[in-house]
Structure 1
Amino acid sequence: MSLMISWCFCLFFFILLQACQIARGVVYNITTLEPLFPNQTLVSSGQIFELGFFKPNGSENHFVGIWYKNFTPSKIVWVANRNLPLMYRDWSAKLTIGGDGNLKLMDGRGNIVWSTNASGQSNYTSAALLDSGNFVLQDANYSEIWGSFDDPTDTLLPSMKMGVNARTGEKYYLSSWRSDSDPSLGSFLSEITSETPPQPFTWNHSTPYWRGGQWDKSKFIGIQNMDQSYSSMMNVQQDIQQGTTYFSIVPYNSPFFGYMFVSPQGYLKVMYWDDGAKAWFTDWTGPNNTCEIYGTCGPFGVCNSMNLPICRCLNGFVPMSNEEWNSGNWTGGCVRETELNCQKNTSTSASTILKKDAFWQMSQMKLPDSADYLSDIGDQEGCLSRCLSNCSCLAYSYVNTIGCMVWTKEDLIDLEEFSTAGADLFVRVAHVKTGGSPQKAVIISLSTVAGIMFFAVFVFGVCKWRTKKEGNFRIILRLLGWVDKPERLGELLQGNSWEEQLKQDDALELTLFSFDSILLATNKFSMTNKLGQGGFGSVYKGKMNDGREVAVKRLSSSSAQGVQEFKNEIILISKLQHRNLVKLIGCCTEGDEKLLVYEYLPNKSLDTFLFDSGKKVELDWGKRFKIIEGIARGLLYLHRDSCLRVIHRDLKVSNILLDEKMNPKISDFGLARMFEGTQVLVNTHKIVGTLGYMSPEYAMGGIFSERSDVYSFGVLLLEIVSGKKNTAMYDQGYLNLLSYVWQLWSEGKALDLMDEAIAVSFPLEVIRCIHVGLLCVQDHAMDRPNMMNVVLMLSGESDLPQPRQPIFTFQTEMPNHGIPSQKESLWSVNTVTNTMVEGR
Structure 2
Amino acid sequence: MAKLRNTVFLYFSCFCMHYFSSSHAQTQNATLKQGQQLRDQDGDYLVSENGLFKLGFFSPGNSSVFGATSNRYLGIWYYKLPNDPDAVWVANPETPIIDTSGVFALASDATLKLIHGGGQISVSDPNQTVSGNVTVSLLDTGNLVLREVTSNGTHGEVLWESFDHPTNTLLPGMKLGINVEAGQNWTISSWFSDQIPATGVFRLGVDPGSTNQLIIWRRDEVYWSSGVWENGTFQNAPEMTRRVDLFEFTFVSNKEDKYFTYTVKNRSTVSRWELNAWGQIMHSTLNGTTWESTEASPCTFNLTNLGALCIEEKPSECRNGSDGLVPVRGYFDGNEILHHDNNTEMTISDCHATCWSDCACIGYKSIYTNGTGCVFMSGEAKFIPNSYFDATYVLNIWNHSKGQDQGLDELRSQITRFGHIYKLKIGERIGQNFRMFSFSEVVAATDNFSSASKLGQGGFGPVYKGVLPDGEQVGVKRLARSSGQGLEEFMNEITLIAELQHSNLVRLLGCCIQGEEKILIYEFMANKSLDAFLFDSTRRKKLDWQTLVNIIEGIAQGLLYLHKHSRVRVIHRDLKASNILLDENMNPKISDFGMARIFGQNESMANTVRVVGTYGYMSPEYAMRGIFSEKSDVYSFGVLLLEIISGKKNTTFLSSNGLCLIELAWELWKQGQTLEIKDTSLDCGSKEEVLKFIQVGLLCVQEYAEDRATMSEVISMLTSDVTPLSDPKQPAYTISRSEAAGSTRTLPDRSSNTASVNNVSITLMEGR
Greater strand content: 2
Greater helix content: 1
Scaled by the length of structure 2, the TM-score of the pair is 0.46
